[in-house]
Amino acid sequence: MRLAMILGWLIASYGLSADGGSAVAESAISGGIFSRIFGSGPVVFLVLVILVSLSVVSWGIGLAKILFLRKTLKKAESFVDLFWEQKSLNELNNRMSGIEDGPGKEVFKAGYAELVKGTQTRDQAVEMRIGIQAAMDNMMRTLAKTKSHEKTKLETGLSFLAISASAGPFIGLFGTVWGIMNSFEGIVQSGSSSLAAVAPGISEALIATAFGLAAAIPAVVSYNISVNRIRAVMHQLDMFGSDFLNIAERYLVSDKKPHANQAAEAQSHSPRI
């Protein structure tokens, strides 16, 4: 809007003729967008190079991240289903080598290892109640630590998308302001009051604005989709962690070998002891 106002002010102030405006338009668009890019000043050209780089990298990271998180979410859901299909935790633990790596697998491995240690803690405690409580506290901390580590791995690359989304428009705005400055300098240097003196700078300004949006839009979209899918994965891990702790606590209290117990119904995921 401000750019249009400035352009209108320039046209009104200098009384451009129809022929002059036609000549300006032809000069401004001759050679196409690539001609205007390579014909821009060094500052604006550097801004455009930065914005193009941000846009290309944002597209690459964004698409790769969306596909990766989609696959990771399916892995997490499949592992939870597999967990409830097993008759015991030992049986599932013995199958770990044949299960594809994923956040669910890592959480289970950490929880199972801590459950084994917790059994020793309970047996060595002066009072069983204190030993069970200590074992459960250790398992909760271990699961929380593992989930936090998995979340950090899933969030890799999101910081670049966030930077591109927030900085892209401002970098483009910088190019816009610089282009407008060049427009007024063109008036002084040429001594002409025609639009031909300001058209190159205005053109550079418009290109910088467009490139800034081109860098920010894919970054924003990719970031939001990725965050939502990470949230879905973490929801699966939180539910799985809670169920694992329930099974582990029942085992420690009942003083039996750890077992996952078949679910009454696979969909309800309700363990039966």
pLDDT tens figures, 240-251: 999 999 988 888
- Choose among 232, 251, 233, 231: nearest CA to 243: 251
pLDDT at 228 over 80: yes
pLDDT of residue 63: 94
The band of 210, judged by pLDDT with boundaries at 50, 70 and 90, is confident
Whole-Å CA distances, 54 to 195, 211, 259: 32, 10, 51
pLDDT higher for 149 or 9? 149
CB atoms within 10 A of CB 12: 9
d(CA 209, CA 220): 16
Q: Across 20-34, 96-110, 167-181, 197-211, which has the greatest mean pLDDT?
A: 96-110
**Where along the chain do its domains lie?**
41-177+204-254
State what percent of residues in the chain have pLDDT above 70: 73
pLDDT of residue 3: 44
pLDDT of residue 262: 38
Q: Which residues pair with 263 in a beta bridge?
A: 271
pLDDT of residue 7: 43
Summarize the confidence of residues 188-208 as an average pLDDT: 69
pLDDT at 163 over 80: yes
* CA dihedral for 117, 119, 121, 123, sign (positive or negative): negative
pLDDT of residue 257: 45
pLDDT, one tens digit per residue, over 103-161 is: 999 999 999 999 988 888 888 777 788 888 888 999 999 999 999 999 999 999 899 99
pLDDT of residue 13: 42
pLDDT of residue 62: 93
The band of 14, judged by pLDDT with boundaries at 50, 70 and 90, is very low
Query: Helix, strand or coil for residue 263?
Result: strand
DSSP classification of residue 198? T
Average pLDDT of every residue of the chain: 77
pLDDT at 39 over 60: no
pLDDT higher for 67 or 193? 67
pLDDT of residue 135: 87
pLDDT of residue 209: 86
